[in-house]
Amino acid sequence: MLFRDTGVSTSAEFGRVCQSHTPDLLPYIGGATPRTSIEGFVYTSTEYAAQASIPLHCEATYLRHVPSRIWFFCRVPPVDRGETPLGDMRRVRNRLPAALVDEFRERGLVYLTNLRDGPGFGKSWRDSYGSDDRGVVETLLLGQGAEWTWRQDGGLVVRLRAPGLRRHSVTGEEIWTNQAVNWHPAHFGAAHVQKLLAAFGDESRFPKTVMFGDGGPIPAASIEMIAAALEAEEHAFAWRRGDILLVDNEVIAHGRRPFSGERAIDVAMA
């Protein structure tokens, strides 16, 4: 649902709107992308480089408990592009070969992150879990059903097991909601993979990656096929200042198109 001419102009006002309709807003703990807390449970949208596009995905489907709703608020509309495309993951699933869907259902996925301790590339475990206390972080990891290992250099390796498909909490429909494309290095191209290999030596040490639940690799050809299906289902609109968008995160995916200039889209989850 897209609400226009709302009269909302600040992150605090947006947060109150979200709270009034979905009181149980969620903190962004253990999320895979860089965000900044703005006001209460209101965060920036993913802070990737402006020239980067983000494929369609349902938020946080690598976690045990997935947000059922996600809110967006256009505080500063982009001058050039920067849309937040939406797509129905039921339609994405219907575009994919049945054998590929069956494989993802049967084998499941493991999302792996390498979180740094000090300066470096990618997220730190302190930023990701909002604490510099290892005991607190381990309690949060336990609540997420994660497997983890502390590296000798102080970094943290986190493995999250998740299904390739999930059932909608209301309709019971089985829906393609995984983030295999967003996490798989092949999506960024062979040249990028070679740079990562040169920097980290092995895919298991990449800042983030994904594999099948049994540890087997997901073929690049499968990632390309899924990416094409996601792109084919994108539907976008131009942001206007004050727009508020409410999305059923269990079935409707979102992404981001590249932009130039300033852009400020706030996010809240419930």
Reduce the DSSP state of residue 58 to 3 states and report it: coil
Radius of gyration of the chain measured on its C-alpha atoms: 18
For position 99, what pLDDT does the model report? 98
What is the pLDDT at residue 32? 85
Of 118, 148, 153, 152, the closest CA to residue 135 belongs to 148
Alpha helices in 201-254 (DSSP H): 220-232
Can you name the CATH fold of 2-89+234-269?
Double-stranded beta-helix (3.60.130)
Query: Rounded to whole angstroms, how far apart are CA atoms 174 and 177?
Result: 9
DSSP for residue 124: B
For 197, half-sphere exposure in the C-beta direction (CA atoms, 13 angstrom radius) is: 8
Contacts of 209 (CB under 8 A, 6+ apart): 111, 112, 183, 184, 185, 203
All residue ranges of the chain with pLDDT < 50 are: none
Q: How far apart are alpha carbons 229 and 232 in whole angstroms?
A: 5
Give phi and psi for 116, each to the nearest 5. -70, 165
Q: Where in the chain is the domain with CATH 3.60.130.10?
A: 2-89+234-269, 97-230
The closest of 112, 110, 108 to 208, measured between CA atoms, is 112
Task: Look at residue 119 in the predicted model and tell me its pLDDT.
Answer: 82
What global pTM score does this model have? Answer: 0.94
Mean pLDDT of the chain: 95
Fold of 97-230: Double-stranded beta-helix (3.60.130)
CA 130, distance to chain mean position in Å, is 18
